Amino acid sequence: MSITVPSGSPAIRVENVSKVFRRYKDRPGSLKEMFTKFRMERYEQFQAVDDVSLQVEHGEVYGLVGHNGSGKSTLLKMMAGIHRPTSGTITTDGRISALLELGAGFHPDLTGRENIYLNASILGLHRKEVDLLFDDIVEFSGLSAFIDSPVRHYSSGMFVRLGFAVAVHVNPQILIVDEIIAVGDEEFQRRCFEHLYKLRNNGVTIVMVTHSLELVRTMCDRAAWLDHGRLMVEGTAVEVVRRYLEQVNVAESERQFELDRERSLLEEEARIRESPVGAPAERLVALGEIELIDHNGRETRYLETHRAGTIRVNFTCRRPVPRPKFSFSIETQAGVLASNQGTTPDHGEQPEYLGEGSIEFHMPAVVLGPGEYSLSVAVHDADGTMVIDKKERVITFRVGTDLPFTGVTDLLGTWTDPVIGSPR
């Protein structure tokens, strides 16, 4: 259950909260099915939130992150008092204003004006209080031309405008916001976020669900990561986002790893079919598996800026040959060349190589910016003038970072303190 407690407690305390829903099965399609299924259980239980405990302090901006279906919105609704926990308790200290589902709290047959008064009264305001706030609400929503029209004629964007305008202008002590504000246009979203920052600076407690991890990093003080209804990590927003991204990118890395393997096998089969008979055996040096290694020494499809990484090229020299040259290129998704590296030429007498081998390119600190890249590898003759074998876009990988920069590369520079005029 949700209760209000005296001041001095946290703004929101969630203690061992679980929420179980009943997911009903299909109705019987005939009279026979009705009788045969009468004694069968007609629903199955779904655990939306599973034994979650957390605490939101007064004046704190708190973010909830996780994939779709992880229980974030259900937890918000329990905080707002819309759902009751199946077990556990949620205690709140302060007036709560919530913007959750599209159109929630609005009567479709009432006008925008009437719904402002209705919505505000649900939040505990008297009519005279709403009279004083009415003009500000309408101005912020930008709906003055439609304020006396029934809201059933409103678009989804208009619903969001009116709902957000009411929610943030009723002097909430706790504001609960779901991803719903993403429905509005770009200009309205900008004003929404500006107002959220103003509320934060005024000490309003804000709890939000958003898929924008950058917003969580920059706006939230603390955050929690939910997965399949369970609390995985709670802590500073930066740390929670980092841990969440690690898990997401590991999963994506594994998926991309399998795709690259399948594509590599198909390309090799096609190359053998299209080559003249005997051509593969005549290739003096053949490229084998190309590996991307992270800072922990594991094969991956995800690297982090300023952490180590390694490109390992496996190859086979079919006959004794002078030391071959190797090169690779890294391109962005848009085809922009990010880097092109090659081994340096040998001078003087060169040894001959035969059999299987490998060569590695070590990066003490990856300097690529965040984004998706592709890796191509080639092997050349000893002079570096002729390509013996190559693999185009053999690996697709992502680079992530917590650092405040964009672009293809980090210049690894540092800023000095500003110098203005003469010191006093």
Q: Answer yes or no: is pLDDT of 40 > 80.
A: no
What's the CATH architecture for 275-343+354-400? Distorted Sandwich (2.70)
Mean pLDDT for all residues in the chain: 82
What pLDDT does 27 receive?
60
Which of these, 66, 78, 90, 77, lies nearest to 9 by C-alpha position?
90
What pLDDT does 103 receive?
59
User: String of b and e for 255-266 (b: at least 16 CB within 10 Å)?
Assistant: ebbeebeeeeee
Residue % of the chain over a pLDDT of 90: 39
Q: Answer yes or no: is pLDDT of 412 > 70.
A: yes
What pLDDT does 400 receive?
81
- Reported as a single tens digit per residue, the pLDDT across 237-293 is 988 988 887 777 666 656 665 666 666 556 555 554 554 433 444 578 999 999 999
Are 387 and 380 within 8 A, CB to CB? yes
Q: Evaluate the CA torsion angle 256, 258, 261, 266 in order and state its sign.
A: negative
pTM: 0.61
Q: In the sheet where 309-322 sits, what is the strand order?
A: 285-293, 309-322, 352-363
**2-25+39-241 and 275-343+354-400 share one fold:** no
Dist CA 104 CA 163 (whole Å): 8
Amino acid in position 164: F
What confidence tier does 302 reach under pLDDT thresholds 50, 70, 90? confident
Spatial neighbors of 308 by CB under 8 A, at least 6 apart, are 294, 295, 362, 363, 364, 365, 366
What pLDDT does 362 receive?
96
Give the pair of three-digit tokens for residue 336. Answer: 């922009």
CATH fold label, 2-25+39-241: Rossmann fold (3.40.50)
Annotate 18-52 with DSSP letters as a single string: EEEEEEEPPPPSSHHHHHHTTTS--EEEEEEEEEE
Domain-by-domain residue ranges, the chain? 2-25+39-241, 275-343+354-400
3-class secondary structure for 61-109?
EEEEECCCCCCHHHHHHHHCCCCCCCEEEEEECCCEEEECCCCCCCCCC
Q: Answer yes or no: is pLDDT of 76 > 80.
A: yes
- Reported as a single tens digit per residue, the pLDDT across 85-118 is 999 999 999 888 888 766 566 788 899 999 899 8
- Give strand pairing partners of 376: 329
- For Cα atoms 36, 40, 44, give the angle at the middle one, nearest 5 degrees: 140
Dist CA 333 CA 280 (whole Å): 31
- Reported as a single tens digit per residue, the pLDDT across 169-190 is 888 899 998 875 665 567 777 8
What confidence tier does 59 reach under pLDDT thresholds 50, 70, 90? very high
Range 20-35 average pLDDT = 66
106, 107, 109, 112 alpha-carbon torsion, rounded to 10°: -30
372: left (phi over 0), alpha (psi -120 to 50) or beta: beta
Higher pLDDT, 325 or 281: 325
Secondary structure of residue 167 in the 3-state scheme: helix
Dist CA 325 CA 72 (whole Å): 53
- Reported as a single tens digit per residue, the pLDDT across 374-399 is 999 999 988 877 889 999 889 988 88
What confidence tier does 404 reach under pLDDT thresholds 50, 70, 90? low
| Side-chain half-sphere CA neighbours of 24 within 13 A | 3
Range 325-343 average pLDDT = 90
What confidence tier does 424 reach under pLDDT thresholds 50, 70, 90? low
- Reported as a single tens digit per residue, the pLDDT across 124-182 is 788 998 899 999 999 988 899 999 999 888 887 888 888 888 888 888 899 998 875 66
Range 192-199 average pLDDT = 86
387-400/174-177 β-pairing: unpaired
Residue position matching structure tokens 């299209």: 274
Q: Answer yes or no: is pLDDT of 202 > 60.
A: yes
